[in-house]
Structure 1
Amino acid sequence: MRPPAAPLRRKLIAGGCTLLLLPLVPGLARAATIVAVRTWPADEYTRVTLEMDTELKAEHFTLDSPHRLVVDIEGVQLSTAINDLVSKIRPNDPYISAVRVGQNRPNVVRLVFDLKQDVAPQVFTLKPIGEYKYRLVLDLYPKIAQDPLMALLKDTENDPLAGILESLAQGGPSEAPIPSVEGQKLPPTARKPPEGAPPPPPRTAPGPRPGRPILVALDPGHGGEDPGAIGKRGTREKDIVLQIALRLKKLIDAQPGMRAYLTRDRDYFVPLNVRVQKARRVQADLFISIHADAWIKPTARGSSVWALSQHGATSSAARWLAKKENDADLIGGVNLGAHNAQVAKVLLDLSTGAQINDSIRVGTQVLKEIGKINKLHKNRIERAGFAVLKAPDIPSILIETAFISNPQEEQLLRTPAHQQRIAHAVLSGIQDYFSAHPALARRG
Structure 2
Amino acid sequence: MPRPSRLRPAPLTPGSPHRRTLLKAGGTLLLSVLTPLPASATQIMAVRVWPAPDYTRVTLENDSALKTTHFLVPDPPRLVVDIDGLVLNNTLKSLVAKVEPNDPYIKQVRVGQNRPNVVRLVFDLKEEIKPEVFTLAPVAGYQHRLVFDLYPLKPVDPIAAMIRKGEWTTDDTPAAAASSANPASPLPATPPAQTEVVPDAIAKLESEMSALNGTPPSQPVQPTPGRQVARAPAQKVVRMVTIALDPGHGGEDPGAIGATGAREKDIVLAVAKRLKAKLEQLPNTRVMLTRDGDYFVPLGQRVQKARQVQADLFVSIHADAWISPTARGSSVFVLSEKGASSSAARWLANDQNKADLIGGANAAVQDKVLASVLFDLSTTAQINDSLKVGKAVLKEIGGINRLHKAAVEQAGFAVLKAPDIPSILVETAFISNPDEEAKLRDDGYQNQLADAITKGIKRYFADNPPMAKSRQT
Give the alignment's TM-score, normalised by structure 1: 0.83
Distance in 2 between the 1:54 and 1:347 partners?
A: 36
Match of 1:139?
A: 149
Distance in 2 between the 1:395 and 1:332 partners?
A: 25
Task: Give the deviation of 1:440 after TM superposition.
Answer: 5.8
- Is the aligned partner of 1:364 residue 2:381? no
Closer/same/farther in 2, CA of residues 65 and 267 from structure 1, 3 Å limit = same
Over 6 Å off, 4+ runs: 441-444
Q: Please tell me the residue identity of whatever aligns with 2:402.
A: K
Distance in 1 between the 2:468 and 2:254 partners?
A: 33
Task: Give the deviation of 1:152 after TM superposition.
Answer: 2.7
- Is the aligned partner of 1:236 residue 2:243? no
Distance in 2 between the 1:428 and 1:85 partners?
A: 45
Match of 2:349?
A: 322
* Cα deviation 1:136-171 (Å, max 9, x = unaligned): 0000000101012222322336xxx6231xxxxxxx
Distance in 1 between the 2:170 and 2:48 partners?
A: 39
- Is the aligned partner of 1:263 residue 2:290? yes
Task: Give the deviation of 1:85 after TM superposition.
Answer: 0.4
Which has the higher mean CA deviation after the structures are superposed, 174-183 or 356-365? 174-183
Match of 1:406?
A: 433
Distance in 2 between the 1:210 and 1:342 partners?
A: 38
Task: Give the deviation of 1:125 after TM superposition.
Answer: 0.3
Equivalent residue in structure 1 for 2:378, among 332, 351, 367: 351
Structure 2: runs of 5 or more not aligned: 1-36, 180-184, 192-235
Distance in 1 between the 2:416 and 2:451 partners?
A: 22
Distance in 1 between the 2:300 and 2:237 partners?
A: 29
* Cα deviation 1:212-231 (Å, max 9, x = unaligned): 31111000001111111010
Distance in 2 between the 1:287 and 1:186 partners?
A: 25
- Is the aligned partner of 1:185 residue 2:212? no
Task: Give the deviation of 1:339 after TM superposition.
Answer: 1.8
Q: Please tell me the residue identity of whatever aligns with 1:360.
A: L
Match of 2:99?
A: 89
SS of structure 2 residue aligned to 1:185: coil
Task: Give the deviation of 1:441 after TM superposition.
Answer: 11
Match of 1:162?
A: 169
- Sequence identity percentage: 59
Q: Please tell me the residue identity of whatever aligns with 1:388.
A: V
Distance in 2 between the 1:183 and 1:329 partners?
A: 36
Equivalent residue in structure 1 for 2:70, among 57, 60, 71: 60
Task: Give the deviation of 1:342 after TM superposition.
Answer: 5.6
Structure 1: runs of 5 or more not aligned: 1-26, 165-173, 188-208
Task: Give the deviation of 1:436 after TM superposition.
Answer: 2.2
* Cα deviation 1:303-350 (Å, max 9, x = unaligned): 000010000001111111000010101111111112243645655432
Contact 1:237 1:291 in 2 (8 A): yes
Cα-Cα RMSD: 2.2
For residues 62-81 of structure 1, the aligned pairs below 5 Å read 62-81=72-91
Distance in 2 between the 1:286 and 1:315 partners?
A: 25
Q: Please tell me the residue identity of whatever aligns with 2:70.
A: H
Distance in 2 between the 1:359 and 1:343 partners?
A: 21
Task: Give the deviation of 1:416 after TM superposition.
Answer: 1.3
Contact 1:358 1:441 in 2 (8 A): no
Contact 2:337 2:375 in 1 (8 A): no
| Number of equivalenced pairs | 385
SS of structure 2 residue aligned to 1:307: strand
Closer/same/farther in 2, CA of residues 366 and 221 from structure 1, 3 Å limit = same
Match of 1:386?
A: 413
Contact 1:304 1:399 in 2 (8 A): yes
Task: Give the deviation of 1:177 after TM superposition.
Answer: 4.9
Q: Please tell me the residue identity of whatever aligns with 2:297.
A: V
Match of 1:212?
A: 239
Q: Please tell me the residue identity of whatever aligns with 2:246.
A: D
Closer/same/farther in 2, CA of residues 103 and 216 from structure 1, 3 Å limit = same
Match of 2:456?
A: 429
Q: Please tell me the residue identity of whatever aligns with 1:74.
A: D
Larger Rg: 2
Match of 1:296?
A: 323
Match of 2:276?
A: 249
